[in-house]
Chain A
Amino acid sequence: KNEVEQSPQNLTAQEGEFITINCSYSVGISALHWLQQHPGGGIVSLFMLSSGKKKHGRLIATINIQEKHSSLHITASHPRDSAVYICAVGSYNTDKLIFGTGTRLQVFP
């Protein structure tokens, strides 16, 4: 079992839909990261959070430390949101990130 699990693996949505991507982890963490990766590879950091909730534009990230679970929400989805969304955790006493395998999102007009 992977230390970081994401669901779903693939997600298809119509423009305007509300989207939720889930991440569960099994290790103690210092922070959880949500990342976006477009075709071609470059990774953009969306959020880093260790508790509660963060919002940036149409993106919202929440984390429940007790349940070792985080969600990424996209409101009013748009075709330009199509990308792979990756959850990664930084564990205690180390700066290395442990990545989930990503959720591939496609938003159609």
Chain B
Amino acid sequence: DAGVTQSPTHLIKTRGQQVTLRCSPKSGHDTVSWYQQALGQGPQFIFQYYEEEERQRGNFPDRFSGHQFPNYSSELNVNALLLGDSALYLCASSSLMNTEAFFGQGTRLTVV
């Protein structure tokens, strides 16, 4: 079992650009949550996907959007990138029947 995998691991983008980050959940998990972790801070909840729908959303602008595919993998899209979007983006998968979350290694996004 590969666990939770995220791609890419590192990414550099320019202000105003758009970015797509990807996450494959742990085998058997159907729920994917995305978190943003700024340097020196704890992760902040962005949103959660279950059954291909956004189930919950944190306090993030509409520039942050997502998608979940039938195979439970998920994408996080950020439009009109700002310098402040530079962070580590973490994906966590879980099963609706069991709330233990497993995390990926994260994607480190740098906006210049």
Q: How far is the CB of A49 from chain B (nearest CB, A)?
A: 10
Chain B residue numbers with a CB within 8 Å of A88 are: 42-43
Contact B44 A40 (CB under 8 A): no
Contact A102 B42 (CB under 8 A): yes
Q: How far is the CA of A45 from the CA of B105 in the complex (A)?
A: 12
| B contact residues vs A (CB 8 Å cutoff) | 31, 33, 35, 37, 40-45, 48, 55-56, 58, 88, 90, 92, 94, 96, 99-106, 108
Give A37-91 interface residues, CB cut-off 8 Å to B.
40-45, 48, 86, 88, 90
Sample 14 A-B pairs with CB under 8 A, ordered by A number.
A31-B99, A31-B100, A40-B105, A41-B106, A42-B103, A43-B43, A44-B103, A45-B103, A48-B100, A95-B94, A95-B99, A96-B48, A97-B43, A98-B45
Given contacts A90-B99, A98-B45, A101-B41, contact A43 B90 (CB under 8 A): yes
Q: Which residue of B lies closest to A44 (CB)?
A: B103
14 further interface pairs, Cβ-Cβ under 8 Å (given A44-B103, A90-B99, A95-B55): A33-B100, A33-B101, A35-B103, A41-B37, A41-B88, A43-B43, A43-B103, A45-B102, A86-B43, A88-B42, A95-B99, A96-B33, A96-B58, A97-B35
Q: How far is the CA of A98 from the CA of B99 in the complex (A)?
A: 13
Q: Which residue of A lies closest to B89 (CB)?
A: A41
Q: How far is the CA of A94 from the CA of B45 in the complex (A)?
A: 12
A30 at interface, CB cutoff 8 A: yes
Q: How far is the CA of A44 from the CA of B102 in the complex (A)?
A: 7
Q: How far is the CA of A30 from the CA of B41 in the complex (A)?
A: 23
Contact B106 A94 (CB under 8 A): no
Given contacts A41-B88, A41-B108, A43-B90, contact A99 B44 (CB under 8 A): yes
